[in-house]
């Protein structure tokens, strides 16, 4: 019996860790993987420890990230999966472009970022990747789910509009009560024709204080969460247990929730 049911209202991936979201209408999921191209590339902040021949999870402080580099949020990143080309725009104007599968393409992006973020980097930025590796904040390959009702509850207590993209979701749902998603840990989640399983709450950092689009650090979301709800969690991580597809409007349900 299904006790909790919701609908997918938005789908996103983040081809380059720290850069803006790419909206999707539908995604095909594979068990044990992430959304295709999600966080497939990252930008090392100066000389780094990532070895593409022996890839392993590294803390996000190794990379350019919103928690420390809020100017990233003012960049609009467009990704073409057919050519793996990344286009960066600012205020609607193209500022850099390059194919992430070629060294010259990466260098074009790196040169722009070196100038754009001058004074905040530890050294020359470098785009890194490895086949099958995802630069998530957690070691597990997963999706991040955010509940719009929980966003609205945080808006209510803060008295401010909150863009859900502050929380870097892969899947945004609506139709269940605020915080209902916290009850989905270790439970089977049906999403479209795929099956997921929640495995952890998402502990928030100061990256959520940065407004998408403007790059302004204009909220203190972890502090609001701690003061009002006694924790700094928002959203949940879920692993893909059975492949399938998810599209906008698809049902998301938790058995026995």
Radius of gyration of the CA atoms of the chain, in A? 18
Cα 28 to chain centroid distance, Å, stands at: 17
CATH of the domain at 227: 2.40.33.20
pLDDT of residue 214: 93
> Do 26 and 145 reside in the same domain of the chain?
yes
Per the structure, the count of domains in the chain is: 2
Q: Does any domain span residue 241?
A: yes
Burial of 249 by CB count in 10 Å (0-12 exposed, 13-18 middle, 19+ buried)?
exposed
In tens digits, the chain (257 residues) has pLDDT values of 344 679 999 999 999 999 999 999 999 999 999 999 999 999 999 989 999 999 999 999 899 988 888 999 999 999 999 999 999 999 999 999 999 999 999 999 999 999 999 988 999 999 999 999 999 999 999 999 999 999 999 999 999 999 999 999 999 999 999 999 999 999 999 999 999 999 999 999 999 999 999 999 999 999 999 999 999 999 999 999 999 999 999 999 997 65
Among 110, 128, 146, where does a domain finish?
Answer: 128
Q: Which of these three, 128, 151, 181, is where a domain ends?
A: 128
Same domain flag for 197 and 216:
yes
Return the axis-axis angle of helices 221-229 and 148-158, rounded to nearest 10°: 90
Q: CB under 8 Å to 142, separation ≥6 — which residues?
A: 34, 136, 199, 237, 238, 239, 240
pLDDT of the residue at 257: 54
Q: Which of 94, 128, 162 is the last residue of a domain?
A: 128
Residue 119 is predicted with a pLDDT of 86
- Residue 255 pLDDT: 77
* pLDDT at site 144: 98
At 256 the pLDDT is 64
């Amino acid at each position: 019996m299904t006790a909790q049911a919701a609908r997918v209202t938005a789908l996103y991936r983040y081809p380059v860790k720290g850069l803006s979201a790419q909206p999707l209408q539908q995604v095909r999921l594979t068990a044990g993987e992430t959304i295709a191209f999600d966080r497939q590339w990252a930008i090392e902040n100066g000389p780094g420890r990532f070895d593409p021949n022996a890839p392993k999870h590294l803390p996000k402080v190794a990379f350019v990230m919103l928690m420390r580099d809020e100017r990233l949020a003012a960049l609009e990143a467009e990704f073409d999966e057919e050519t793996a080309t990344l286009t960066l725009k600012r205020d609607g104007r193209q500022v850099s472009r390059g194919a992430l599968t070629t060294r010259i393409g990466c260098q074009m992006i790196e040169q722009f970022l070196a100038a754009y973020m001058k004074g905040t980097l530890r050294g020359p930025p470098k785009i890194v990747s490895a086949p099958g590796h995802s630069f998530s904040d957690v070691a597990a390959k997963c999706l991040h789910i955010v509940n719009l009702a929980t966003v609205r509850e945080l808006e209510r207590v803060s008295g401010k509009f909150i863009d859900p993209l502050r929380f870097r979701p892969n899947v945004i749902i609506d139709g269940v009560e605020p915080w209902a998603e916290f009850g989905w840990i270790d439970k089977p989640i049906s999403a479209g024709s795929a099956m997921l399983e929640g495995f952890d709450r998402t502990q928030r950092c100061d990256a959520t204080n940065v407004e998408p689009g403007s790059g302004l650090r204009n909220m203190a979301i972890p502090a609001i969460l701690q003061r009002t709800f006694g924790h700094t969690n928002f959203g949940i991580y879920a692993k893909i247990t059975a492949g399938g597809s998810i599209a906008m409007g698809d049902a998301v349900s938790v058995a026995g929730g």
